Chain A
Amino acid sequence: MSEEVEVLSGNTLSEDVEKVVEKISNTTVEFRVPRVNCPEHIILVVDVCHEVGNTPYRLADGSKFSALYMVKRALTLFLQNKHAIDARHKFALVLLHNIPVWISDFTSDPQKIISDLELAEERPATTHCDLSLVFELIAHQISLPKCSNPSVVPPPYMYRTILIYGRSHCLPQFLHGKELFSHLIQSPHFVLDVLYTHESPSDNNKCEGIFDLLCGLDEGGWSYVLEVSRNATKLHNYFGTLLAHPFQRPVQKDLSYTLVPKD
């Protein structure tokens, strides 16, 4: 599948004003699309870099597992649960090393992705991470649905990218421009979520700076940006959080799962 990319020539003044107005109205509680659970086409972007000195996850029974291993386990449950919620959802797999590689095309069979994921191996860390390449790859692989009236008519499907970034020393950046990223993000049918798995923040790493950068990817306020250090339970919980359908879920700050008995 290839996406025809529009080359946006310079905006007129009225277009700029329109963008600002749109941004303001998007920060209120109103949704840009009807709250219908249309099928999701989920692109999982999994960072396979292993940095020297990365600490493993340690479980209560003393066993140790690498970060990638834990992500694979939690992602398996995510895929199985998401499929159980609605078998129409589809998944694609991208592995991120020095460049992103499109491993599996969209399939509604979670087992296919799980098998491909199993084969993914840790790779040594690179010096940089170019986000432009990630979104360029995605933009070329997908075809955004054309909807005449997106605030009223639900699309036949929507895209969600879940970026699972695992480096504590390498800042992810747009080294080749943000045009394709912006083009994707402006569509009401494209959502980006981020799960950042990292070392414990300290003066020896850049975790906080990286997290700030990743939060910056949430331009519209609709994304979930989650971070976890080496806590296996929390990692699995966050994959649970990510199960929620972007068109029906609460905004991140409103999330609350506690079930309180009626006294």
Chain B
Amino acid sequence: MVEIPMEEQASLNNAPLNMFTRQMEYMKVNGVPGVLFSDCAEISKASEAQGVKNKGDNGEILECRPESYSENTLLIKLPYAGTNLTIHLLFNPQEPWMVPEMTFSDDRFTSTITLKDLEDQVPSLNEWDTSTDDILAQLVHQVLQLYRGYQLDRLEEDEILQIQYESLLKALKIGEGDIEVSVNSTEQVSTTSSFLMRLPLSLQDVPPVLVDANPGTPNTFLQVDFPRREAAFVPKLHLSSCVESLIGEASSLALPTVPPGIGVMDYVERIMELLEEKVRRTILSFETRKQFIAEVLCQFGCAVVEYDAERFNKIVVMMEVKDFHFLAFISLGSLFPQQHGPRVVLQSLYHNSAKEPVSKELTDLKYSSQWKPEEMVQHTKEAILANISSFQMSSIRTS
């Protein structure tokens, strides 16, 4: 998402920045090719002291804002391998349509790449045309490719990391395009090297209605930070909102502790198993909900009022006991069937308060996740019968 902070918009009278409104809009609408990480929340390993960051920190794909001290600079901040790469574009105030000068937040990268590298691999600089909508997107894409190549060159200098990288590609069966590498100088103890990889979590068995419920691509990323050579690596899981809606929020998933000496590849395989199990559970929950609703329809088909025919989360039935008619709202939450039974609320057809009809939630419903749907429905029926007189009494009193 391209963001121009409100307070800076006032100073956007300058030609270069006004000039690029369309290009920034283009990236907002189409995304930026080459950026792996987008629209994710973050979690840390359970035992780590790091807190959960809120979405705002990681949700932006990129940020374009004018430098506070120079009105002719455009900063494009890209998430990369768990950190950021910022491209500084400096425009000539007299000729803002000309190709800008470019530097980067990564100083070593700035000093390593040559003019020839730029000529060969960032051709948009040679064909700079401020009238094309995708000129910034192209530039960013090409720069990212260059940066990736640069990082892979650095990787070759670190044998251990290189081995980890290659074993990951092989074990996960992912391509170079699915993993971002950031190799940092080992002389500086405080800087970390990181890998950010897109995990091949398959959602193909998930009923399409559940996947389609949330917009956006279902992405699962694992970030692995290597703080120092000897220290254990630190994993962080990032899930796009689509995946979160299926297997739970990232903050509710606890990553297993990293056992000493384990290779990244083995750890990642464990994470994959954990995630795949979660997906299986989601599918199983859906199937069980469907069976439960089907069983209710079977037993109460002639009294059905309405039910959720796509996600099977709810069914409403009308019932009569000794000439007393009422509604039963039966809902199946995200914890059904493993942890929670159906939630049953009786609701009146005759009595109400100003806002809503009189209702009563059943709290004495017997339940076991081991029961078949027929048993679950039978117990629901019994609980309703047991509560009818008290519901009838309380509706008259309440209204």
Contact = CB atoms under 8 A, between A and B. Distances in A.
Interface in A10-49: 34-37
A74 B307 CA distance: 23
A62 B352 CA distance: 21
Contact of A239 (B320, B349, B352, B355): B349
Contact of A259 (B309, B348, B385): B385
A85 B306 contact: yes
The interface centre, meaning the residue of A81, A240, A254, A259 with most chain B CB atoms within 10 A of its CB, is A259
Give the bracket for the number of chain A residues in contact with chain B.
20 to 34
Contacts of A255: 302-303
A237 B325 contact: yes
Contact of B307 (A37, A236, A243): A37
Given A84-B347, A248-B309, A243 B304 contact: no
Nearest to B358: A77
Contact of A248 (B306, B318, B378, B382): B306
Interface string B312-356: 000010111101010101000000000000000001111010011
A238 B286 CA distance: 34
Interface in A60-109: 76-77, 80-81, 84-86
B270 interface: no
A123 interface: no
Contact of B381 (A239, A256, A262): A262
B306 A37 contact: yes
Contacts of A183: none
Contact of A236 (B302, B316, B349): B349
Interface string A242-254: 0111001110001
B350 A233 contact: yes
Interface in A215-263: 233, 236-237, 239-241, 243-245, 248-250, 254-259, 261-262
B156 interface: no
Contacts of A34: 309
Contacts, number: 90
The interface centre, meaning the residue of B316, B323, B348, B385 with most chain A CB atoms within 10 A of its CB, is B316
The interface centre, meaning the residue of B306, B318, B382 with most chain A CB atoms within 10 A of its CB, is B306
Contacts of B304: 244, 248-250
A241 B304 CA distance: 10
Given A80-B352, A236-B349, A262-B381, A256 B316 contact: no
A259 B356 contact: no
Contacts of B382: 261-262
B33 to A, nearest CB: 33
A248 to B, nearest CB: 6
A256 B349 contact: no
A120 to B, nearest CB: 19
B384 interface: yes
Contact of B306 (A240, A243, A254): A243
Interface in A161-182: none
B310 interface: yes
A76 B352 CA distance: 9
B306 A259 contact: no
Contacts of B355: 80, 111
Interface in B343-398: 347-350, 352, 355-357, 378, 381-382, 384-385
B216 interface: no
Contacts of A262: 378, 381-382
Contacts of A237: 325, 349
Contacts of B320: 257-259
Contacts of A81: 327, 347, 349, 357
B301 interface: yes
A240 B309 contact: no
Contact of B302 (A85, A86, A243, A254): A254
B325 A259 contact: no
B353 to A, nearest CB: 9
Contacts of A76: 352
B305 interface: yes
B213 to A, nearest CB: 15
A37 B313 CA distance: 12
Nearest to B320: A257
B305 A36 contact: no
B170 to A, nearest CB: 44
A85 B349 CA distance: 13
A81 B306 CA distance: 12
Nearest to A261: B385
Nearest to A247: B309
Contacts of A240: 318, 325, 327, 349
B350 A236 contact: yes
Given A243-B305, A257-B318, A84 B350 contact: no
Contacts of B305: 85, 243-245, 249
A245 B306 contact: yes
B320 to A, nearest CB: 4
Contacts of B323: 233
Contacts of B321: 258-259
Contacts of B352: 76-77, 80
Given A81-B357, A233-B323, A244-B304, 17 more contacts: A36-B309, A36-B310, A76-B352, A77-B348, A77-B349, A81-B327, A81-B347, A84-B329, A84-B347, A85-B316, A240-B327, A241-B318, A249-B305, A250-B302, A255-B302, A257-B302, A259-B385
Interface of B: 301-310, 316, 318-321, 323, 325, 327, 329, 347-350, 352, 355-357, 378, 381-382, 384-385
What 5 pairs across the A-B complex have the smallest Cβ distances? A257-B320, A256-B302, A240-B349, A245-B306, A259-B319
9 contacts: A86-B306, A240-B349, A241-B318, A243-B327, A256-B303, A257-B302, A257-B320, A259-B319, A261-B385
